[in-house]
Chains A and B, each alone.
Chain A
């Protein structure tokens, strides 16, 4: 009987531990994002045709020329992408070199999008089948990656860039350059 009693208190303790775990997890901020496993890895090789006539396309070689860059994954049909446009321009004004990949888009739509929301990009590749997007582990638009001068992904920002993210991205860019 005594042993039974200890077993039972053990069950009570187990339940308490379980509730503790639940409570801890509830109090944690829930991170719904799936982060790319490619952070810290070199860019996979690719070569994308230009998305618009006014800018050249984008290849992996362009990203390994010694200059750290921001790589923005966007699409003209994506509303948060329009929302983050002012922040991208702010980043550009702060000296960031920004390249972009347009996902499943048409040249005329991209042109219209850039005419309305501005064009902070030095290069825009056109990714019609999401191949580059998938290969760098991006699960949606918009996303912004920091690529160092050797073409290695050092940071991933998921979702639209808000004002408070601008200094963070600049800091990551600075770290990638040093």
Chain B
């Protein structure tokens, strides 16, 4: 089939709703570790490593202030990546959940779109909890250098939803290509981890010699980190370019996993 199939919003919503029904049963247990994660990073890196960073911090921010918003973005990446890799693979190949769904008026393309939205929702939920912790910690520990200081930060949850959809598209693309769940080690080691380390969360990537900053510009997490950092401390107009990058990249790539997954579900 060469025709491009567009998902129906109604069908996508039904798939989203199925995941939400299950999430609602266990959300407290699922979300709890997520609250510890920012604490671990901020303690080890912000306070531990940050103590060695010279007076003046990074770009006028304390080291903890610098890394905190970036961790919001990477947290969304991890949430959406797990959802669109292991969880999606299990529904596809092990539970055969999608086979059952596509025998109803919900089509394969709706399933994939619903999963994108669900991964985005999950990323936004995790990110909101994380953002709450950061805001609270800022007030509690260093009122003179708040971790989240701008009212623009209220836009972070919707941004994380979009960032979650973006990483869900990437994860689903990988899922649509593999036959064995063991192959995710490639995705996490060669895609997710390098993005986590080299997207300007822990150090300004712009200070590296060319072509490192140019390469970073072509990667998705870099822009998500820029957006979150801007919104946490007050944005500059340049952030619109990052937003545009994320939207274009997501929009262009989103149709590909839809077609590939359809081919796996419908012969």
A and B part of one assembly: no
Residue positions of A touching B, CB distance < 8 A: none
